[in-house]
Amino acid sequence: MHSFYRSGQPSGENLAVTAQIEALSQAEVEVALVGRWSDREVRHPWDPVRVAMITATGRGGDPTAELRRLRPDLVHVHNLFPSMGTRWLGQWQGPIVATVHNYRPLCANGLLLRDGHFCTDCVSHGTLNAVRHGCYRDSRMATIPLAVASAGGARRNPVLQRAEAVVFLSQSQREIYVEAGMDGGKSHVIPTGIPDITADASSPRNGWMFAGRLTPEKGLAALLNIWPDTEPLAVWGAGPLAAQMQAIAPDGIRWYAGDRADVAKALAGAEGLVFPSLAMEVHPTVVIEALRAGTPIVAREATVSAALVERFGVGAVYDGGAPSLRSALAFCRQGGSDLRTAARDCYERNFTEERWVKDLKSLYSAVL
C-alpha cells in the first residue's frame, strides 16, 4: 500500500516500492498494489484542501473496500501521505507490516532538518514548532495539517501503533525512532536491496562524483563552497537549485543529467561518491549503488551514510570543513583497490536484492 508522490518531484520511496513489488513477485510472492497517485488527484482544484483534511483528521482515502475484495494475507503499508487516511487501520483485522521511509511521524517535513541543521524540536517540545517555522514547503499554513498529524510523535502515530512489525531501513533510523518513543520490540532493520551489476573493483577510476536531486537538504551548495580546485567533480542531478548551483560552482565542475543507468555507469568509473547531505537521511539508494560499483564513499558526518561508512570501512567521513574534506578525499584515493574491494564486498554481504527479499519473506512468515 502506497500513496505515490508527484512524478515532478522524484521520490526514492516511489522507486523502492515499485522495486519491492517486482522483486517479491519474481520470488513467487503474490503481490497486489493498493495505491493512490498524486499526479492524478492533483488535477482537482480542491485537492490541497482535501489533502489537508485527510492528513489532519485521518479520514478519507479509505482503502478498506479494495482490501476486502483482495482478502490479503497481510497488508504492507509504505506511505499513506498525502492521499490515504489512517482511520481504516482501526477497522481492518488482518496483520499489518509497515516500512518507514522517512521521519514524517516525527517531523512535518520528514527530514529532521531545519535551517540546514539536524532538528528534533517537535519531538521534544511539541509540533507547534513546525508551524512557527513553516517547516513544510516554507509555509505555516501548509505545515498545520502535518503538525496536527505528527502531534505525539511515534507514541501516537496510527501506523506505528497498529502494525505488528515495523521495518526501518537502517540501524541509525531505528535508533532515532526508539529514542522518540517507538516500541523497539516490533522494529526490524531491513535495508533496501538492489539488483546486482557486475563490477570490477580494480578497474581504472578518475575523479569524484555527486549524484542527487539539487535541493537544499542535499548539501551540494556547502560542498561547492569548500571543494578543492585541484579535484575533478562530476555533478549528476537536476532540481530547483540547478541554476543557482552552477552559478556558484568553481571552474572545472562538470554537470550531467541522466537516468539511473547512466548514474550507475558513472559510479563505476569514479574514484569515490561524495555524499554531502545536510539531512540525516534514511537509506540513500545512490550510496548502495556506489557500493555495488565498488566505489568508496565520502560522507558528511552525522548522517546515516556516515554511520554506514564508519561501520563497514568503505570510505571516509568529513566534518563539513575544507581541511576535513581534503583529508577524506586523500584517504579514499590512497585506499585504492583495497578500499574498492571492501565497498563491493559490503554490497554483496548486506545490500543485494536476494537478501532483501529473503529478509522480507522471513518477516512476513513470522508475522503470519
The confidence band for 43, taking pLDDT boundaries of 50, 70 and 90, is: low
- The tens digit of pLDDT for each residue in 148-198 reads 999 999 999 999 999 999 999 999 999 999 999 999 999 999 999 999 987
Q: Please give the angle made by the CA atoms of 300, 109 and 312, to the nearest 5 degrees.
A: 30
The tens digit of pLDDT for each residue in 271-324 reads 999 999 999 999 999 999 999 999 999 999 999 999 999 999 999 999 999 999
Amino acid at 348: E
CATH of domain 2-106+150-193+353-367: 3.40.50.2000
Q: Provide the pLDDT for residue 37.
A: 87
Q: Which CATH architecture has domain 208-350?
A: 3-Layer(aba) Sandwich (3.40)
pLDDT at residue number 11: 75
> 2-106+150-193+353-367 with 208-350: one CATH topology?
yes
Specify the higher pLDDT residue, 50 or 143: 143
- Domain boundaries along the sequence of the chain: 2-106+150-193+353-367, 208-350
Answer with the residue of higher pLDDT: 11 or 10: 11
What is residue 200's predicted lDDT score, i.e. its pLDDT?
62
Of 75, 66, 123, 63, which is closest to residue 99 (Cα–Cα)? Answer: 75
| 240: its cell numbers | 530547483
User: Amino acid letter at 59?
Assistant: R
